[in-house]
């Protein structure tokens, strides 16, 4: 995936003043497709994500993948924005940039003269992108992390069996969608700027993005008010028994058969128990839907008798869509994930070896994304950006260093 | 006011919710999206969206996934000449059909890019365009099943869980890919193919767990972790309240928040069991989880929300969909909007998750009726006269 000569976002410069995950991952998507992304970090320790020591109580090991992967393909500049000298460098950086990306608090940004209004005066063509917690308007003052915002959306409360605790969609699930949405907004704003000559303010939020994750179920709730969308529904009482999870002899599987046409007769013919196929309660699509619970119980008993592999061998040739419910170890070996570059390997300076990383989820045939480097060391590119990009003299660089504005 | 994509014409030949929604969201930001409804199956494709438990209700999923579009009902075979004129006028072709069907219908990239050399040709698939299973049907549940998250999200001993988040992630990836390709076309005049899949969407929506497993490995990522065995008692945890609801905390920097948290749950901030990050998160982690479990169960959720808000703590009550449905913040930001419908009055709907100051997303039109814009589209995009349209209609090429 290296050696690409063209990239979709060649020539786009992004000043990435972000921490943790939602903001940085937005910058990652832009950097993967060739934008020059300069991650500006505080000199004291840098982005807080550099300090992640464990995940799920497991030590991160010899390389901090949490930070290094979402900050890949970026440059790092260590700049103290609390000092006037640091703010002056930031202003120069923004003069010629295309995009300013941030997820810091509006209060901090205003204190450093980095509000949208401030920055527009420096560069009216700049796209100013905010990855926020709760959106552009209203009460934004509460601290926001992925899961505490997800808690408000209602997404967690509807998952799992009735009576079980709510279920989180996974670490960073809200940050990931909020960050991607910010990156998409940046691209739309760049396209619009070509015609208007003007930048703009965009705001992607954990709350807005995660409400969209509710998709059809939240939309169904809004339209009908029905608790079948908002509360936990047991898998033993599904809408359709042919679209459900089952525990086979060894592991779980998912069968997703639309109950139309001759689907049932094809499916029933594969079962070891002829009484299920003969049962009058299951004779038509309507009665199968009415009797989805007893049909689920009957199928569960039959499916438990054979291995997942057995079932998939029977169902595959008949066009019955089904899959083993894989775990992460299975995924790590999944040829689909590797063939499509959703996983890739790249060299990690910290441990001096190739490591496996998540790859590129969007394919562009002429300008594919690439993983060129993992996340930079703190301040690795400070001098390069100052001298080569911004035209500072070495004397000025030394003065900044003495003032403590850069590392 | 201009819109970000108001110079872009999108031909939308999608049948699934997540991919149709991608086209609708391009429309939200100004793209002119033409929904191609293939004859003779168009009615059937629409009917699949109906809520079988409430068939008379507003067709809410279809409406969401097809807002801000115009409809052209066309037989892609009998109406081929017309279709080719549309392609020549289009900027983006977006589809989720299987490659076999696209080849058979002569809708593959090679064919269409001859009609429009700088066309952006975007396809959403189930498991990606490459690999042994690239032709498997695009079903989000099956993509989610391969992603490794279904066995670990729930509490130990519980059945696997399907969240549905991966498909929405794929929606935005498609929109992102199309817009990245537009940027490249703006610069170079070159079109290209764009692909995103439900597998990629599910993987990226769960990227932290997946990346952690790739780097660190270990059983702890293969089995559900009990909430009573959380890695950090103060972060990513769930505790029941007195009134049967739940609170969740995300305060990874426990040094900063322990004084507040200990105070509100009635523990001594100097308690030697918990007075350092290491003691809270390593040595006495399980003991602290039990202590918090006991403390949160003593008061109702409303008490905890007030307390969290007062102290600006990153913690909240876990709500159900009734909360956003009534939340002023969701309305003010247009995350949820009211839609005036023809037959169902004013109905709340998902709105626009992204704010752009110079390109406000808006509902310019609700989902079109089948073939509602056939005449105007044939006239404006294919240059067809009234007589020509009538002739196409009578031979069943359009409707």
Q: DSSP for B242-280?
A: TTS-EEEEE---HHHHHHHHHHHHT--TT-TTTSSHHII
Domain around B181: 9-205+329-394
Residue A291's pLDDT band, with cuts at 50, 70 and 90, is very high
- Alpha-carbon Rg for chain B, nearest whole angstrom, is 26
- pLDDT band (50, 70, 90) for residue A194: very high
B297 with B334, same domain? no
Question: Is B21 inside a domain boundary?
Answer: yes
Structural domain that includes position A311: 243-329
Residues 332-391 of B with CB under 8 A from A: 332-333, 335-336, 347-350, 352-359
Residues of B with Cβ-Cβ distance to A336 under 8 angstroms: 127-128, 130-134, 146, 199
State the nearest Cα–Cα gap between B292 and chain A, in angstroms.
16
Whether B378 and B275 map to the same domain: the answer is no
Smallest Cα distance from B99 to chain A, Å: 16
Residues of B in contact with A224 (CB under 8 A): 51, 54, 57, 60
| CA of B147 vs chain A CAs: smallest distance (Å) | 6
Shared domain for B153 and B297, answered yes or no, is no
pLDDT score recorded for residue B347: 97
What 3-state DSSP class applies to B34?
strand
Rg for chain A, CA atoms, rounded: 26
A226 contacts in B (CB within 8 Å)? 53-54
Mean pLDDT of chain A: 96
Q: Which residues 28-47 of B have a C-beta within 8 angstroms of A? A: 29
Contact: B211, A357; criterion CB under 8 Å: yes
Mutate to test the interface with B, among A162, A219, A258 (most CBs of B within 10 A): A219
Domain boundary among A272, A302, A329: A329
Q: For residue B5, name the pLDDT band (cuts at 50, 70, 90).
A: very high
Nearest CA in chain A to B360: A202
Q: Contacts of residue A296 in chain B, CB cutoff 8 Å?
A: none
**Same-domain check for residues A26 and A118:** yes
* Alpha carbons B350 and B62: distance in angstroms, whole number: 12
Q: Are A101 and A184 in contact (CB under 8 A)?
A: no
Closest CA to A210 of B216, B47, B354: B354
pLDDT confidence bin for B93, thresholds 50/70/90: very high
Instruction: Let me know whether B160 and B74 are in one domain.
Output: yes
The answer to the question of residue A236 being in a domain is: no
B281-326 pLDDT tens trace: 999 999 999 999 999 999 999 999 999 999 999 999 999 999 999 9
pLDDT band, residue A141 (cuts 50/70/90): confident
Among B260, B282, B317, where does a domain finish? B317
pLDDT value at residue A142: 78
Q: Is residue A263 classed as helix, strand or coil in its secondary structure?
A: helix
Based on the domain organization, do B178 and B271 belong to the same domain?
no
Q: How does residue A263 score in pLDDT terms, banded at 50, 70 and 90?
A: very high
- pLDDT class of B1 with cuts at 50, 70, 90: confident
* Domain stops at, among B266, B289, B317: B317
Q: What is the largest CA-CA distance in chain A?
A: 89
The per-residue pLDDT for B159 is: 97
Average pLDDT, integer, range A320-340 = 98
B38 and B180 assigned to the same domain: yes
Answer whether residue A3 shows pLDDT above 60.
no
Choose one of B271, B291, B317: the last residue of a domain. B317
Please indicate, yes or no, if residue A223 is contained in any of the structural domains.
no
Q: Does residue A345 share a domain with residue A313?
A: no
B27 touches A at CB < 8 Å: no
| Inter-chain CB proximity A188 and B29 less than 8 Å | yes
| pLDDT tens-place string over residues A202-251 | 999 999 999 999 999 999 999 999 999 999 999 999 999 999 999 999 99
Using alpha carbons, select from A3, A44, A35, A37 the residue that is nearest to residue A18. A37
Would you say residue B211 lies in a domain? no
- Total count of domains within chain B: 2
Q: What pLDDT does residue A1 have?
A: 44
**In the predicted model, is pLDDT for residue B83 greater than 70?**
yes
Tens of pLDDT, residues B210-226: 999 999 999 999 999 99
pLDDT of residue A56: 85
Report residue B207's pLDDT band, with 50, 70 and 90 as the boundaries: confident
Does the distance separating the beta carbons of A356 and B215 come in below 8 Å?
yes
B130 and B266: one domain? Answer: no
Cis peptide before B40 (omega within 30 of 0): yes
Residues A100, A62 within the same domain: yes
In A79-172, DSSP assigns E strands to 99-102, 127-132
For the cut 80, the answer to whether the pLDDT of residue A4 exceeds it is: no
Chain B residues in contact with A131 by the CB 8 A cut-off are none
DSSP B132-189: TTTTS---HHHHHHHTT-TTTSS-TTSPP---SHHHHHHHHHHHHHHHHHHHHHHHH-
Q: How far apart are CA B66 and CA A69, in angstroms?
A: 36
Does the beta-carbon distance from A9 to B175 stay under 8 Å? no
CA-to-CA distance for B35 and B13, rounded, in angstroms? Answer: 6
Last residue of a domain, one of A267, A302, A329: A329
Q: Inform me whether the pLDDT recorded for A2 exceeds 50.
A: no
Mean pLDDT of chain B: 97
Residue of A nearest to B63 (CA): A219
- Indicate which CATH number applies to the domain containing B52: 3.40.50.10540
The tens digit of pLDDT for each residue in A342-392 reads 999 999 999 999 999 999 999 999 999 999 999 999 999 999 999 999 999
Q: How confident is the model at residue A54 (pLDDT cuts 50, 70, 90)?
A: confident
What pLDDT does A74 receive? 98
Average pLDDT over residues A67-94: 98
Which of A8, A57, A156 shows the shortest C-beta gap to B181? A8
A201, burial (CB in 10 Å: exposed 0-12, middle 13-18, buried 19+) = buried
Q: What percent of chain A has pLDDT over 90?
A: 94
pLDDT in tens, A84-106: 999 999 999 999 999 999 999 99
Instruction: Give the β-pairing of A322-324 and A252-256.
Output: antiparallel
Tell me how far apart the alpha carbons of residues B216 and B222 are, in angstroms, rounded to a whole number: 12
Number of H helices, E strands in chain A: 19, 14
Chain A positions touching B316 (Cβ under 8 A) are 148-149, 151-152
* Nearest-neighbour CA in chain A from B310: distance (Å): 10
Residues B62 and B151 in one domain: yes
Domain membership of residue A335 (yes or no) is no
Q: Are residues A210 and A295 in the same domain?
A: no
- Give the residue from chain A lying closest to B318, CA to CA: A151
Nearest CA in chain B to A174: B205
Specify if B166 maps to a domain. Answer: yes
Q: Is residue A295 part of a domain?
A: yes
Instruction: Tell me the mean pLDDT in the region A157-175.
Output: 96
What's the rounded Cα separation, in Å, for the pair A252 and A322? 11
Both A197 and A67 in one domain: the answer is: yes
The model's pTM is: 0.97
Domain final residue pick, A329, A356, A382: A329
Do residues A204 and B197 touch, judged by C-beta distance below 8 A? no
Identify the pLDDT of residue A139.
79
Burial call B317-348: b when 16+ CB within 10 Å, e when fewer:
bbbbbebbbebebbbebbbbbebebeeeeebb
């Amino acid at each position: 995936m290296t050696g690409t000569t063209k990239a979709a976002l060649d020539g786009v410069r992004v000043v990435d003043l972000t921490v943790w995950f939602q903001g940085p991952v937005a910058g990652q998507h832009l950097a993967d497709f060739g934008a020059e992304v300069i991650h500006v970090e505080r000199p004291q320790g840098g982005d807080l994500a550099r300090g992640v020591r464990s995940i799920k109580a497991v030590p991160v090991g010899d390389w901090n993948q949490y930070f290094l992967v979402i900050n890949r393909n970026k440059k790092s500049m260590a700049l103290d924005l609390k000092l006037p000298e640091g703010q002056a460098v930031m202003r120069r950086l923004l003069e010629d940039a295309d995009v300013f990306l941030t997820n810091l608090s509006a209060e901090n940004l205003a204190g450093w003269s980095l509000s949208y209004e401030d920055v527009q005066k420096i560069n009216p063509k700049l796209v100013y992108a905010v990855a926020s917690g709760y959106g552009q308007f209203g009460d934004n003052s509460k601290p926001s992390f992925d899961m505490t915002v997800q808690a408000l959306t209602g997404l967690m409360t509807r998952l799992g069996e009735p009576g079980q605790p709510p279920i989180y969609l996974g670490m960073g699930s809200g940050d990931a969608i909020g960050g991607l949405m910010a990156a998409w907004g940046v691209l739309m704003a760049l396209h619009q700027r070509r015609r208007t000559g003007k930048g703009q303010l965009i705001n992607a939020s954990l709350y807005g993005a995660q409400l969209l994750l509710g998709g059809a179920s939240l939309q169904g709730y809004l339209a009908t008010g029905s608790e079948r969308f908002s509360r936990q529904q047991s898998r033993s009482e599904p809408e359709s028994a042919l679209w459900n999870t089952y525990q086979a002899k060894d592991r779980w599987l998912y069968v997703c058969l639309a109950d139309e046409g001759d689907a049932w007769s094809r499916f029933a013919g594969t079962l070891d128990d002829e009484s299920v196929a003969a049962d009058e309660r299951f004779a038509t699509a309507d009665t199968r839907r009415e009797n989805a619970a007893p049909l689920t119980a009957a199928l569960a008993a039959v499916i438990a008798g054979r291995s997942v592999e057995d079932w998939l061998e029977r169902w595959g040739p008949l066009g019955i869509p089904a899959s083993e419910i894989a775990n992460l170890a299975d995924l790590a070996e999944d040829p689909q994930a590797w063939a499509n570059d959703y996983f890739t390997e790249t060299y990690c300076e910290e441990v001096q070896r190739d490591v496996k990383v998540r790859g590129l989820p969007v394919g562009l045939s002429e300008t594919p994304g690439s993983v060129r480097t993992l996340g930079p060391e703190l301040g690795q590119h400070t001098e390069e950006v100052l001298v080569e990009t911004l035209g500072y003299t070495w004397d000025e660089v030394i003065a900044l260093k003495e003032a403590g504005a850069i590392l | 006011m201009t819109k970000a994509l108001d110079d872009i014409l999108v031909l939308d030949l999608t049948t699934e919710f997540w991919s149709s929604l991608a086209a609708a969201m391009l429309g939200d930001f100004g793209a002119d999206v033409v929904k191609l409804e293939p004859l003779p199956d168009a009615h059937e494709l629409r009917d699949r969206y109906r809520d079988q438990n409430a068939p008379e209700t507003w067709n809410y999923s279809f409406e969401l996934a097809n807002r801000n579009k115009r409809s052209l009902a066309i037989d892609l075979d009998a109406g081929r000449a017309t279709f080719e004129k549309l392609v020549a006028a289009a900027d983006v072709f977006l589809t989720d059909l299987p490659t076999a069907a696209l080849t058979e219908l002569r809708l593959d990239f090679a064919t269409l890019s001859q009609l429009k050399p700088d066309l952006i040709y975007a396809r959403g698939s189930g498991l990606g365009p490459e690999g042994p299973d690239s032709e498997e049907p695009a079903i989000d549940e099956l993509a989610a099943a391969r992603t490794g998250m279904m066995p670990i999200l729930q509490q130990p001993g519980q059945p696997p869980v399907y969240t549905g988040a991966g498909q929405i992630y794929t929606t935005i990836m498609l929109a992102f890919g199309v817009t990245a390709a537009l940027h490249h076309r703006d610069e170079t005049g070159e079109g290209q193919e764009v692909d995103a899949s439900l597998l990629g969407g599910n993987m990226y929506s769960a990227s932290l767990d997946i990346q952690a497993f790739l780097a660190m490995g270990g059983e702890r990522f293969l089995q559900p972790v009990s909430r009573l065995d959380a890695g950090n008692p103060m972060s990513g945890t769930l505790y029941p309240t007195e009134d049967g609801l739940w609170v969740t905390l995300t305060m990874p920097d426990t040094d900063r928040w322990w004084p507040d948290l200990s105070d509100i749950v009635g523990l001594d901030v100097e308690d030697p069991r918990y007075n350092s990050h290491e003691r809270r998160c390593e040595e006495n982690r399980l003991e602290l989880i039990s202590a918090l479990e006991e403390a949160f169960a003593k008061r109702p959720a409303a008490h905890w929300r007030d307390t969290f808000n007062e102290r600006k703590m990153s913690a909240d009550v876990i709500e159900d969909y009734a909360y956003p449905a009534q939340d002023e913040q969701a309305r003010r930001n247009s995350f949820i909007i009211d839609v005036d419908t023809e037959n169902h009055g004013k109905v709340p709907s998902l709105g626009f998750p992204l704010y752009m100051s110079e390109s406000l997303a808006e509902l310019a039109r609700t989902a079109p009726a089948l073939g509602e814009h056939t005449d105007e589209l044939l006239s404006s995009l294919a240059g067809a006269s009234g007589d020509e349209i009538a002739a196409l209609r009578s031979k069943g090429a359009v409707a």
